[in-house]
Amino acid sequence: MELKTVKIEKPADMNFILGQSHFIKTVEDLYEALVQTAPQMKFGIGFCESSGPALVRFAGNDTRLTELAQKNAIALSCGHAFIIFMEGGFPINILNTIKSVPEVCQVFCATANSVEVIVAESEQGRGIMGVIDGLKSRGIETEADIQIRKEFLRKIGYKL
């Protein structure tokens, strides 16, 4: 077995969700869940089929985001992995919906950070071992940092 990292290629401020499911209809079910939960959101989905023709399946309501999802899914090539890129919303708006899709097994990350995916490859195929999401911690927040955090959350409308 060989371990490698695959960097998620995306614009710096773009959010995405990376997860794992268990069935070919995942791409269609995720699409339906997203349009029903956040109809204003633009998104693209890539899904790595893990048997039969082992294709990257895709769906979305935005061509650019769908192509980005396809590009990253084929770079990962990990069975039953899915990746969703989005604009006009945040992962927090759809994360519970994604997790409640019956065939979704887990979510590895939901972020706009730079991400490296740790992938194991054997003779059989590839699988996601985990993710490196963003930077290494630099220290403990100070009182000033707490104030900045609280102001930021209110500025973007997530706290009153």
CATH number at residue 45: 3.40.1520.10
Position 158 in a domain: no
Is residue 152 assigned to a domain? Answer: no
* pLDDT over 90 at 80, yes or no: yes
pTM reported for the whole predicted model: 0.93
Q: How many domains does the chain have?
A: 1
- Percent of the chain clearing pLDDT 70 (strictly above): 100
In a domain, residue 150? The reply is no
> Considering the domain boundaries, does residue 41 fall inside one?
yes
The gap from C-alpha 35 to its chain's centroid, in whole angstroms, comes to 16
Separation of alpha carbons 146 and 85, rounded Å: 30
User: Is residue 71, in this structure, part of any structural domain at all?
Assistant: yes
Domain residues for the domain of 104 are 2-135
Q: Is the pLDDT of residue 159 over 90?
A: no
Does residue 146 fall inside a structural domain? no
End-to-end CA, the chain: 50
* Structural domain contains residue 99: yes
